[in-house]
Amino acid sequence: MVTIKQIAQEVGISSSTVSIVLGGKAAERKISTATQEKIFAAAARLGYQPNMAARSLRGGSGANELVVAMFWAQDFRASMMFRFWDGLRAEIEKTARPVRLVIYPYVNDHLKESEALTSGANCHAAIICNASYADLQFLEDTQLPIPVVLYNRVCNGYCSVNVDDLKMGALAARAFADQGCRTAAVLTSSPVFEGMENRMHGFRLEGEQHGLTILANRYCENSIRGGYEAVSHRLRHEWKQQLPDAVFCGSSAIAHGALRAFCEAGYIDEKLPRLIAVGNGPEESDAFSIPSLSVVYLPMEDMARECIQLVLGQLDGRIATAESRLLPIEYVPRESCGPLTEYAAQ
Amino acid sequence: MVTIKQIAQEVGISSSTVSIVLGGKAAERKISTATQEKIFAAAARLGYQPNMAARSLRGGSGANELVVAMFWAQDFRASMMFRFWDGLRAEIEKTARPVRLVIYPYVNDHLKESEALTSGANCHAAIICNASYADLQFLEDTQLPIPVVLYNRVCNGYCSVNVDDLKMGALAARAFADQGCRTAAVLTSSPVFEGMENRMHGFRLEGEQHGLTILANRYCENSIRGGYEAVSHRLRHEWKQQLPDAVFCGSSAIAHGALRAFCEAGYIDEKLPRLIAVGNGPEESDAFSIPSLSVVYLPMEDMARECIQLVLGQLDGRIATAESRLLPIEYVPRESCGPLTEYAAQ
DNA sequence: ATGAAAGCGCTAACAT
DNA sequence: ATGTTAGCGCTTTCAT
């Protein structure tokens, strides 16, 4: 790393002059044009880049600023980042304290390689989202230098914010049963964390309890296209003779693709199977699709709020032990599946 | 701001011991439990937070890291942030150099208050998105200490990345004309930058040239709900007797709301007016809606790539003067409006 | 078991 | 027109 000192040596001049020139104050300090040119030339030649840490330290700016890292897996879930990020931002805005939120995209199973997390030299605390099984294992085995909050994951010794995943699935099953469905299919990506398995498990358990026959599952990609292709394919094969009465989708995106595929094949209005998704996309997209999408709503913004509070609580020392928060979820009936009736209460 | 030194004074001990204890190295350095407790107590009492700048500087971590700020207006456009952010991220990933991308949400007309931009102590360069007229005025009047690239805006003395906004509107008008439309409406939010005005202006000019009658405009909110409400309202009033043949929407979101409103009112298939939107949302949403949405595609990811290149070029000194890049746009016909035929070639 | 001192890279006050 | 020096807050090495 090239420093101002090295440029000074190179040019044969003091480092303060270099600082003045590179800081754009050459005119007011009346540095000779010759010197300026030599300095700029050397800086360019050596590829000088100012060290931001030194600048901030010296300038005192951001000294009492809290830096919070948000780790988000950089894969198909990337597009779901916004709702969560915006939730964090909104909550931070309400805080008196100045907080800088920094996104750290990471690759699943490689969380351990993130220096920001392990060195403690970049941020005061971290919120980790989308951790894989391996990432959780790493966390459990490691004593990190900064407080951490897990989003949508459970891990020994860590604060976390979750929803009742079993119940998410159960709510969908109950709604289907209430609407008189007898057979149901599941459309989901291969599970990358326990919560997903639990959602599907809860769906199965509760469904069977209400006489719902649940068809064998086959995984699809977690995207609109993934849902579309999965349904298109099934319509030509397993579902050629007989459609299921209901379809439970692992994400809003999958559900929107499914809607489109059903529509293309002529299954609209009464002929469309009942559809419920885990509502993890933007609410408006679900509320204004054709038909609008019934969801078990994932309260991401509320979860983000809790994450911030857990982070601040730990930094303040108000929260000393691993504390887990479980947020309530609810079924939001729209056109793609009617409301809970008989099984509404619990 | 509380420092380690103050804690040391408070406890009556040297600052190095404090550092050791707060750094979690008390055990290996055999600091007495009494001292540890006193230190922790004082730290908590005074509300100590480590200064990250000092830590990074001392630790040497991230010394040659490039910090790039992305300024994004924190309003209705927030949800469009993701595509651009992801484009930047993707391009950064291809770069050999380590770059840290930091999002700075800001409020329109208040860009001038951002210290990160004016102090130069936080980032090496900035990409400014969604600047308002006042923000542009501020930029034009100010000599900033770091290189800046403007996204989708033009400003004297600044590098920028744009598309031909007049042509965006013109393409839509041509497509409508090609599809035999005679009357067209515009559905857009009130313009917050010149580009939006140009899009609408281009649409009008080209439309009139092809015999398209363009109905009087009334603004709506830039969201799905905004589009939905605008169309619902017009269907009860201006459009009660007679629908326009075509509707040009200022954003994908508006168009999806419009689709839903038309559908609810029974205007489907042939009865639905031709629809084209400025394609600024996630591509999948447009490609799989019912019907799928024809767009004049805004190449955000390509624009993000150019922004990064302009940033790096300026930092390297390869780009010394204000350089503007104009990216090509294209009309993507889908179900909501057919392809360009007669007017396809220019 | 604790303290003194040096130094990370930078800027600004104060010489000269 | 340029140089000397001090110090931002922190960690680490080396003494004691």
| pLDDT class of B76 with cuts at 50, 70, 90 | confident
Minimal CA separation from A66 to chain B, in Å: 8
Residue A345: predicted pLDDT:
56
**Confidence band for B202, pLDDT divided at 50, 70 and 90:** very high
User: Who's near B269: CB < 8 A, 6+ residues apart?
Assistant: none
Pull the structure tokens for residue B154.
Answer: 């033009």
Q: Which residue is nearest to nucleotide C13 (CA to C1')?
A: A16
What confidence score (pLDDT) does residue A344 get?
63
Report whether pLDDT(B337) > 90. yes
Largest CA distance in chain B: 88
Closest Cα to residue B2, out of A79, A315, A86? A315
Which residue's CA lies closest to nucleotide D9 at its C1' atom?
B54
Q: Is the pLDDT of residue B148 over 60?
A: yes
User: Which residue is nearest nucleotide D6, judged by alpha carbon to C1' distance?
Assistant: A58
The amino acid sitting at B200 is M
| B1-50 and B53-163+301-329, same CATH topology | no
Q: What is the pLDDT of residue B141?
A: 96
- Is residue B69 within 8 Å of residue B117, measured between CB atoms? yes
- Give one word for B234, left, alpha or beta, with left for phi > 0 and alpha for psi -120 to 50: alpha
Question: Which of A47, A89, A124 is the closest to B105 by Cβ?
Answer: A89
For chain B, what percent of residues have pLDDT higher than 90? 90
Task: Indicate if CB(B4) is under 7 A from strand D.
Answer: yes
Domain ranges in chain A are: 1-50, 53-163+301-329, 165-299
Helices marked H in A142-251: 165-178, 194-209, 224-236
CA of A285 to C1' of C10 (A): 49
Q: Hey, which residues does A187 pair with through a beta bridge?
A: A249
Nearest residue in chain A measured CA to CA from B317: A44
Average pLDDT for B87-113: 96
Q: CA A318 – C1' C2 distance (Å)? A: 30
Cα–Cα distance for residue pair B284/B194, rounded to 1 Å: 28
Residue B344 — pLDDT band, cuts 50, 70, 90? low
E strand or H helix at B187, and its extent? Answer: strand B183-187
Q: How many CB atoms lie within 10 A of CB A9?
A: 14
Predicted local confidence at residue B75, as pLDDT:
83
| CATH 3.30.70.100 applies to domain B53-163+301-329 | no
The CATH number of domain A1-50, selected from 3.30.70.580, 1.10.3720.10, 3.30.200.20, 1.10.260.40? 1.10.260.40
Reply yes or no on whether the pLDDT at B345 is more than 70. Answer: no
Write the secondary structure of A265-309 as one string of H (helix), E (strand) and C (coil): CCCCHHHCCEEEEEECCCHHHHHCCCCCCEEEECCHHHHHHHHHH
Q: How many A-B residue pairs are in contact by the CB < 8 A criterion?
A: 152
Q: From the Cβ of A67, is strand D under 7 Å away?
A: no
What is the Cα–Cα distance from A187 to A266, expressed in whole angstroms? 20
Which element (helix H / strand E) includes B161? Answer: strand B159-163
Could you give the percent of chain B with pLDDT greater than 70? Answer: 99
pLDDT tens per residue, chain A (346 residues)?
899 999 999 999 999 999 999 999 998 888 999 999 999 999 999 999 999 999 999 988 888 899 999 999 988 777 889 999 999 999 999 999 999 999 999 999 999 999 999 999 999 999 999 999 999 999 999 999 999 999 999 999 999 999 999 999 999 999 999 999 999 999 999 998 999 999 999 999 999 999 999 998 889 999 999 999 999 999 999 999 999 999 999 999 999 999 999 999 999 989 999 999 999 999 999 999 999 999 999 999 999 999 999 999 999 999 999 999 999 999 999 999 999 987 665 5
Residue type at A38 in one-letter notation? K
Cβ–Cβ under 8 Å, residues A212 and A184: yes
At residue B77, does pLDDT exceed 90? no
A223/B89 touch (CB, cutoff 8 Å), yes or no: no
DSSP for A224-279, please give it.
Answer: HHHHHHHHHHHHHTTTSS---SEEEESSHHHHHHHHHHHHHTT--GGGSPEEEEEE
pLDDT at A218: 83
Model confidence band, residue B56 (pLDDT cutoffs 50, 70, 90): very high
| B57 inside 8 A of chain A by CB | yes
Distance from residue A250's CA to nucleotide C16's C1', rounded to whole Å = 74
Cα(B220)–Cα(B239) distance, rounded to whole angstroms? 16
Q: CA torsion sign, A235 to A237 to A238 to A241?
A: positive
Among A130, A85, A138, which residue's Cα sits nearest to residue A114? A138
> Which residue minimizes Cα–C1' distance to D11?
B58
User: Is the Cβ–Cβ distance between B275 and B247 less than 8 Å?
Assistant: yes
Contacts of B88 (CB under 8 A, 6+ apart): B68, B70, B101, B127, B304, B307, B308
Q: Which residue has the higher pLDDT, B76 or A74?
A: A74
Sheet with A148-151: list strands edge to edge: A99-106, A66-73, A125-129, A148-151, A159-163, A324-327
User: Which one-letter amino acid corresponds to residue A62?
Assistant: G
Q: Judge whether B221 and B228 are in contact, CB under 8 Å.
A: no
Banded model confidence at residue B172, pLDDT cuts 50, 70, 90 = very high
What is d(CA B149, CA A295) in angstroms, rounded to the nearest whole number? 41
What CATH number belongs to A165-299? Answer: 3.40.50.2300
In Å, how far is B7's CA from the nearest CA of chain A? 16
Nucleotides of D under 7 A from a protein CB: 1-5, 7-13
- B27 close to A (CB below 8 A): no
Token pair of B220 as six digits: 């709506």
B49, B123, B221, B288: best to mutate for the A interface, most A CBs within 10 A: B288
Q: Which residues contact A191 (CB under 8 A, 6 or more apart)?
A: A197, A200
C1’ D1 / CA A19, Å: 15
B48, B99, B114, B290: best to mutate for the A interface, most A CBs within 10 A? B290
Residue type, B262: F
- DSSP character for B80? G
Contact B134/A at CB under 8 A = no
Give pLDDT, residue B218.
83
Q: What is the pTM of this model?
A: 0.95
